[in-house]
Amino acid sequence: MSLQRNITTTLIIAGLLISDTGHTQTLNFNLRGDYYRPTCVFEVNNGRDVNIGTHDANIFTGVGSASPWEAFDITSGGCSGSVTRVHMRWSGTPNPDNNTLYAVPGVTGVGIQIQSFDNYAAGPNRNVVSWAPRAAGAAYSHKARFVQTLATVGTGTGSATVTINITYN
């Protein structure tokens, strides 16, 4: 029995020597992140009113006739990197004789038409027009003009207040 006991003892000791005693390691690390809201910056016509010009009433020859287009830009000051679309919704007082045009208080028989150079209508309280964001300094080019809405056009000085609600995502 002593041989068997020696073999058993030897096997137990060998098992203890071979087995892993269970090493442990503790790792610590920090997590960091930034949260921000997407932003964009825009300016209309370099901060000036858009002047559609002074026109002789004789250029209006009937309902639908129009003055020449006057160009203006909505210039991007840049958008944060996560912005993928820019949405513009134009609003203002519609012309009572043609609700696709803006009313022109002070002058009867005309309304103001606004379009992008891509020919998207930017009428009062219409659909949203969506664009890809543009780099700082790049423009969303538009144009505006007077359009005759009644058989006769009055004289005077007219202006319209137009609001652009710009959202982005």
Q: Report the predicted TM-score, pTM, of the whole model to 2 decimal places.
A: 0.78
- Kindly report the number of other CB atoms within 10 A of residue 25's CB atom: 4
Contact of 92 with 152, CB cutoff 8 Å = no
- Kindly report the number of other CB atoms within 10 A of residue 97's CB atom: 15
Contact of 150 with 109, CB cutoff 8 Å = yes
Contact of 116 with 69, CB cutoff 8 Å = no
User: What pLDDT sits at residue 26?
Assistant: 87
User: What pLDDT sits at residue 109?
Assistant: 97
User: What pLDDT sits at residue 32?
Assistant: 85
Q: How far is CA 163 from the centre of its chain?
A: 15
Contact of 76 with 42, CB cutoff 8 Å = yes
- Please list the ranges in the chain whose pLDDT falls under 70: 1-21
71-87 residue pLDDT tens: 999 999 999 989 999 99
The full set of domain ranges for the chain reads 40-168
Instruction: Determine the Cα–Cα distance for residues 109 and 64; give it in Å rounded to an integer.
Output: 10
User: What pLDDT sits at residue 44?
Assistant: 96
First to last CA, the chain: 84
User: What pLDDT sits at residue 160?
Assistant: 94
Q: How far is CA 26 from CA 29, 71, 168, in A?
A: 10, 67, 45
User: What pLDDT sits at residue 38?
Assistant: 84
Pick 40-168's CATH classification: 3.30.300.250, 2.60.40.1090, 3.90.1150.10, 2.40.110.10.
Answer: 2.60.40.1090
